[in-house]
Structure formats: structure tokens, C-alpha cells
Amino acid sequence: MKVILFGATGMIGQGVLRECLLDPEVTSVLAVGRSPVGQRHAKLRELIREDVSDLDPVADEVAGYDACFFCLGVSSAGMSEEAYRKLTYDLTLSVARTLARNPELTFVYVSGQGTDSTERGRSMWARVKGRTENALLELPFQAYMMRPGYIQPLHGIRSRTRLYAAAYAVAKPLYPLLKRVAPGFVTTTEQMGRAMLRVARTGAPKRILETRDINALR
């Protein structure tokens, strides 16, 4: 299986990349982003693009893949809806429309718990994410939406945002308790990667996967 990965330098993307490189069924990984991943591996190739949303000039280089794992995302904190939409809906759909030229591709999008499929709720980020999900589900490839809640980073993976990294470090000892009392809210970077690979290989019972669904995929 050949995988194209967006957001490989982020916390979730790091976890997904790790699982892809460990999986014997994955023969190659193309990491597309604005900056280098910072590691070398026989399976890994990188495509550095200043404007990730514009893939038309490199359409041949992103063609022929079996799966796309889209882990790019930004926090909506302090952003206007227009700015957040450009970095969420516009960017994602620009990439997806290029990749949709291959209808055999499986596209797995990392969304978030609480996403609003109606696109009419009070939460700005949830509306934008909902609109993004809905648009992806209409494209001519097989698309799956992952809506994780709290994600615990494992295997030395850290968030690049200092505040988030500090919060995850504090929460790490509490993770076993969180998993026990709120299993439908918490998962890990390892499980996210494994679940995405499972979806790419065999699909899933439904197109929108909440945390419990993600944890059930092995």
C-alpha cells in the first residue's frame, strides 16, 4: 500500500507516520508539507511545498497512491471564521479535489469530536469542520471522517505548540484513569495511526468515526 500523508510534523501526523513506517504492508509514504519531517527512512519520501493547497504543478507526483491521511489542522482560537475557513475548508478541499482524480483512493480526514454536520450550530469551528466533512463525502473517492476527542501522544511524540505539549505532559499520568472512566472520549496517537491504516485497507462500517469507533479498529 502506498500512502500520502499531510501534516506529518504535527502531533497526530507524527503518530500516523510512525505506524505507517512500522507497517509491513505499507511500501512507501509521501509526506507533503511546508517543512521537513526531520527523519529518514527507506519508505519515506518528502515533498516540500510552500503552498500545500496548490498541488496542480505536482499532480503527477501525488498520483497513484492508495490512501491519503490528512492530518493538517489549526486551532480556531483567536481566529475569525473567514480565516479559519481558509485554513480548514479551502485548503483541505483544494488538496482533496486534486487527489480525487484517482477514484480508487481512500481519503481519511482528521476532524474532531463535536463537529457539526448540520453546519448551523453556534460553534464556529464545528460548523467549518462540518462543512469540510460534508464536502469531502461528496467527492468521487472513498472518504472517511475521524472525530477523535482527547488524543494522548505516545512514543516520545510531542505537540509543537508549547502550551499543548505542557498540558499533555501533565495529563499523561491521568490517561489510564481517563481511559477507564471516559473510553468514548480518549485515544492515542498510536491508535489513530493504526485505525487509519485499517480503514485504508478494509474500510469501516460507517463514514464518520467517533472516538469509540476509532478505538475499535485494530
Residue 32 pLDDT > 80: yes
pLDDT tens column, 76-92: 988 999 999 999 999 99
Burial 145-176 (b: 16+ CB within 10 A, else e): bbbbbbbbbeeebebeeeeeeeebeeeeeeee
pLDDT tens column, 107-158: 999 999 999 999 999 999 999 999 999 999 999 999 999 999 999 999 989 7
Cross-strand pairs, 47:
32
Say what the pLDDT of residue 164 is. 65
Name the grid cell of 156: 516520545
Say what the pLDDT of residue 197 is. 98
The residues spanned by each domain of the chain are 2-216
Beta 44-48 vs 208-210: how paired, if at all? unpaired
Determine how many CB atoms are found less than 10 A away from the CB of residue 47: 15
CATH number of 2-216: 3.40.50.720
**pTM for this model (two decimals):** 0.94
